[in-house]
Structures are given as C-alpha cells and as structure tokens.
Amino acid sequence: MFGIEWLQPETLISSFGIYALIGVCAIVFIETGLLVGFFLPGDSLLFVTGLMISTGDVVFPLGNEMAPVPIWFACAAISISAWLGDQTGYWIGRKSGPAIFNKTDSKFFSQKNVDSTNSFFERYGAKAIILAHFVPVMRTFVPVAAGIGQMNYRKFLKYNFYGVVGWGTGVTLLGYYLGKIPFVAEHVEYFTIGFVVLSTIPIVMEIVKTRRQHKTEALIR
C-alpha cells in the first residue's frame, strides 16, 4: 500500500489477531487521549475496521470457537474508547495548563500543530469539539486545548458525546456498509487510500489558511 508498513490499517488490525478490536480501541484511545498519538491512522483505521467486520475478518474467542465481532459492539467499543481518550486529553490540559503547548519542537511535538489547533478552535468554538474528530491531528490536540482554556466541563461532555458517536460509529459504519459491496470488498486498498486522502484534506486546508493569516498579520505589522 503506502507509508510506514506497520501503520497501515490492515497491518495493524491483522497484527492483533483475535484481539483486533481491543487493539483498535487502544489505538483510538492513544490518538485521542495522548499528545504522542497524533500520527496514528484514526480515520482509515475505523474505516478498514468496518470493512473487515463486514467480511468476517475481525473475530473474537467465544467458547472454543471464533465468532465474528458484531458491528454494533465494535461501534460502541470504539466510541467509548474515543470518549475516554478525549476525557484524558481534556484533563491533561486542565491540570497541566499552557505549558503543554509551549513545548519546543521534537519528534512527537510540533508548534505547527499547536498553531493549527488554536486557529481551528477559535474558528469553530465549542463546535470544534465535534468537528475535530473528523480532522487528523485536531482530534488529538483540541480536547487538550479545551482543558487549557477551562471550557465548562458539562459543555465539553455534551459536544464530546456528539463527536465520538458521530466519528467512532459513523466512520466504522461507513466502512461496514461499503464493505458489503463486492467491488469495494475486492479493492479494499484503493478505497482505503482514497479515504485517507479525503480525511487529510481538512487539515491541509487549515494549515494553509493559518499560514496565510500569519503572513497577512506580518505584512500589516
């Protein structure tokens, strides 16, 4: 396919074997709850998980046999994992404060991500908590930004619930129902690549917009 081999969705899911769903949920939690998880393939991972469930390739032990994972159970588990991750990110931001976003660049941290997050948060306000789940990198940093900004926790919970259900359930179901189409099932790699490309468009647009704003501000000064 493309990219780093072990980060490819199918490779990740297959590597977990009968614990595939647990592995997927762990990745979702890390991506949404820990700052180091921004590089993980959240969207494509959920999409491919849905595809593989539709073809019966994601199973779990049931007695002495292997049973296919029900799609409703997978959607619930993924959404709960994303919710727990977001709560973790929020409270990391709430307890640690602005110092988190003032770190110097490193292998797992970039000020460009911080600038993009701040721009995204200012543009969409509370709705950013929902929208961020559908934008790579943003879903990692926005919950932390909400905590740093001392967003009302009840308000965060409300928007966060809509976000995790829409993303965790919606993207997984999209893959599941598309996977039932023979042509899609036979060309999983191509559809995965297409989905990855589509999911990166919003973050690219946001980065470009942020850079233009910075250039405009610099010229005004």
Residue 127 located in a structural domain: yes
Residue 17 located in a structural domain: yes
Spatial distance between the Cα atoms of 114 and 48, rounded to a whole number of angstroms = 29
Residue 3 located in a structural domain: no
Q: What is the number of domains present in the chain?
A: 1
Decide if 27 contacts 45 (C-beta within 8 A). yes
Decide if 8 contacts 83 (C-beta within 8 A). no
- The three-point CA angle 5-192-137 to 5° equals 75
Which of 32-36, 155-159, 191-195 has maximum average pLDDT? 155-159
Q: Give me Rg for the CA atoms of the chain.
A: 18
Residue 59 located in a structural domain: yes
218 pLDDT above the threshold of 60: yes
Amino acid at 217: E
pLDDT (0 to 100) of residue 162: 93
Spatial distance between the Cα atoms of 50 and 55, rounded to a whole number of angstroms = 9
Q: Grade residue 1 by pLDDT with cuts at 50, 70 and 90.
A: very low
**Tokens standing for 98?**
């602005």
Residue 80 located in a structural domain: yes
The domain of 43 spans 9-203
Mean pLDDT of the chain: 79
Residue 182 located in a structural domain: yes
What pLDDT, in 10s, does the model give residues 126-152?
Answer: 788 888 888 777 888 888 888 888 888
Spatial distance between the Cα atoms of 84 and 86, rounded to a whole number of angstroms = 5
Whole-model pTM above 0.85? no
Higher-pLDDT residue of 52 and 109 is 52
pLDDT (0 to 100) of residue 82: 94
Residue 220 located in a structural domain: no
Q: How far from the centroid of its chain's Cα atoms is residue 216's Cα?
A: 31
Residue 52 located in a structural domain: yes
pLDDT (0 to 100) of residue 3: 46
What pLDDT, in 10s, does the model give residues 54-107?
Answer: 888 888 877 778 888 999 999 999 999 999 999 999 998 888 877 766 666 555
Decide if 167 contacts 160 (C-beta within 8 A). no
pLDDT (0 to 100) of residue 81: 95
